[in-house]
């Protein structure tokens, strides 16, 4: 009898170990289907991750280009709509200029709309390139259209952002890119905005101008992007050409005259030079945008237009235009 207690303790210990082992095995065994050893796909009743209503985050999103930084301001009341804000030709690798050159974050802070600001993409036109740029030793191929219409919306869906309830707006390079993305991905974008965009890139001299601009902004070779000037990719990415695809899309289109306005205050020789350059760029954007407007009118496609009498190709004016477009964006996305 004196050995009964140790034997009882031993049997209880063995039973506890068996139950523990069973608990470890069951989650794995439950996923085995038909004896093949395949694991069943996890079932989510909702988003795997849910962001708090409001607030700011910096996410790193996997892509074929590596991990891409994306600045995000979450919808104030947890709504699922999102506005993608695209940068210009000289996009930086540390921050999207919308986040510090304008008050975009403040403009939408109390709205039920998530701001999505991808970082990087200098001279990319936010498109899928054929190859890395061989002029500046680029190590990877730009695949921005794939990133913005597949990788990023799928990633944000885990935070409760709908991949089919998006708006997109950009300036300059980002302006034409916004219309391109919306034209070919209508299931994702309900609104597109172009501020000082180049919307008639088949116009005489435009392809050469883009080539020179991309060389100046990072030493990029445009042939690695859309091929030689006669390649069909140039037409695919020209808003003037693909305009019929925009029917039924809510659009805000803007370009100023190029004349200096109240937000142009150069105080140095360099400032005067930059203002003169901004005047020329905006005048070119206006010519492109007016041609695009005539094209839409000829097709019977409506859009909201704004052509300020003064204003150059600079951030203060684009911040103002974003605010003018805000009401239309929120109405379209039902995100007040």
Please report the pLDDT score of residue 79 as a whole number. Answer: 96
Q: Which of 123, 176, 313, 321 is catalytic?
A: 313
Assess whether 44 carries a catalytic annotation. Answer: no
Start-to-end CA span in the chain (Å): 79
- pLDDT, tens digit (0-9, with 9 covering 90-100), for 281-328: 999 999 999 999 999 999 999 999 999 999 999 999 999 999 999 999
- pLDDT, tens digit (0-9, with 9 covering 90-100), for 33-70: 333 333 333 333 345 566 669 999 999 999 999 999 99
pTM: 0.86
Assess whether 194 carries a catalytic annotation. Answer: no
Please report the pLDDT score of residue 271 as a whole number. Answer: 96
Q: Which residues fall within 8 angstroms of residue 10, CB to CB, at 6 or more apart?
A: none
Assess whether 313 carries a catalytic annotation. Answer: yes
Residues of the chain with pLDDT under 50: 1-46
Helix, strand, coil abundance in the chain, percent, nearest 5: 40, 15, 45
Q: Which of 122, 282, 320, 321 is catalytic?
A: 282
Are 193 and 246 contacting, i.e. CB atoms less than 8 angstroms apart?
Answer: no
Q: Own/partner pairs for 243-247, CB < 8 Å, 24+ apart? A: 243/292, 243/295, 243/296, 243/299, 243/301, 244/299, 244/301, 245/183, 245/184, 245/186, 246/179, 246/182, 246/183, 246/192, 246/296, 246/301, 246/303, 247/299, 247/301
Please, what are the domains in the chain? Answer: 1-43 (no CATH), 56-333 (3.40.50.1820)
Q: Which of 124, 133, 172, 194 is catalytic?
A: 172
Q: Which residues fall within 8 angstroms of residue 55, CB to CB, at 6 or more apart?
A: 73, 74
């Amino acid at each position: 009898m004196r050995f009964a207690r140790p034997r009882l303790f031993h049997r209880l210990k063995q039973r506890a170990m068996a139950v523990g082992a069973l608990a470890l095995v069951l989650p794995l065994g439950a996923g085995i289907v038909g004896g093949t050893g395949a694991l069943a796909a996890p079932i989510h009743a909702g988003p795997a991750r849910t962001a708090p209503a409001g607030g700011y985050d910096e996410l790193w999103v996997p892509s074929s280009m590596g991990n891409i930084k994306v600045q995000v301001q979450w919808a104030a009341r947890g709504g699922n709509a999102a506005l993608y804000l695209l940068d210009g030709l000289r996009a930086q690798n540390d921050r999207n200029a919308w986040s510090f050159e304008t008050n975009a974050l403040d403009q939408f802070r109390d709205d039920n709309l998530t701001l999505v600001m991808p970082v990087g993409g200098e001279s990319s036109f936010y498109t899928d390139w054929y190859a890395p740029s061989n002029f500046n030793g680029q190590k990877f191929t730009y695949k921005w259209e794939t990133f913005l219409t597949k990788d990023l919306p799928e990633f944000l869906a885990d935070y409760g952002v709908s991949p089919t309830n998006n708006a997109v707006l950009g300036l300059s390079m980002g302006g034409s890119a916004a219309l391109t993305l919306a034209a070919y991905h209508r299931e994702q974008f309900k609104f597109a905005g172009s501020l000082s965009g180049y919307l008639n890139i088949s116009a005489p001299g435009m392809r050469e101008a883009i080539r020179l601009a991309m060389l100046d902004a990072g030493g990029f070779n445009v042939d690695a992007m859309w091929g030689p000037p006669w390649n069909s990719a140039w037409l695919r990415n020209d808003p003037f050409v693909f305009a019929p695809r925009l029917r039924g899309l809510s659009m805000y289109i803007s370009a100023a005259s190029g004349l200096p306005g109240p937000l142009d205050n150069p105080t140095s020789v360099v400032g005067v030079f930059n203002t003169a350059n901004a005047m020329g760029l905006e005048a070119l954007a206006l010519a492109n945008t007016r041609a695009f407007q005539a094209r839409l009118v000829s097709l019977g496609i409506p859009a909201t237009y704004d052509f300020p009498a003064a204003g150059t190709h600079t951030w203060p004016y684009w911040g103002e235009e974003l605010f003018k477009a805000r009401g239309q964006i929120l109405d379209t996305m039902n995100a007040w």
